[in-house]
Structure 1
Amino acid sequence: MATSYSPLTYVQALRIEEAKHMLETSSTTVNAVVREVGYEDASSFSRLFRRLTGILSGDAASALDFPTELGQVRKKCDFGVEC
């Protein structure tokens, strides 16, 4: 599948999508999710998460429970994957 995005951008979007899924569907801590999706530095992960989703990673579990409020935010991440 060809995209107009760089490999790094595509991988970042996939990792963030997986992190959102984990935060939404489990009681896993943010730090555990950070490690699970392949990041070593929680602060750089948090900055990227916020930039791509518009929400703080620490707030994601509660924020993602309200998809009608986040409909626009979820569409913000348009990297060839559904966010």
Structure 2
Amino acid sequence: MKREKFSDSQIIRTGFYSCSEAYSGAFVFSETDARHRAGLSSRGDGGSAPLPALKKARVIRKSLRKVRARNSSNRKSRKN
């Protein structure tokens, strides 16, 4: 079975996540998931994807975390 390769722009565009998914917190992004999607094997044998894809995935994850944090603090302040 041929594994799909994602270009950086595809990763960003589909986000692997839409923002709404990020907002709902429904999406948990794991490093191994990133590797698989990027075409790397979890054995870390390099697979076929360049490392930058992983770095980009890490950046996406970081920004998702920021969004989630911002949302939860908004919710807290709205309650009272």
- TM-score, normalisation: structure 2: 0.33
Q: Which has the larger radius of gyration?
A: 2
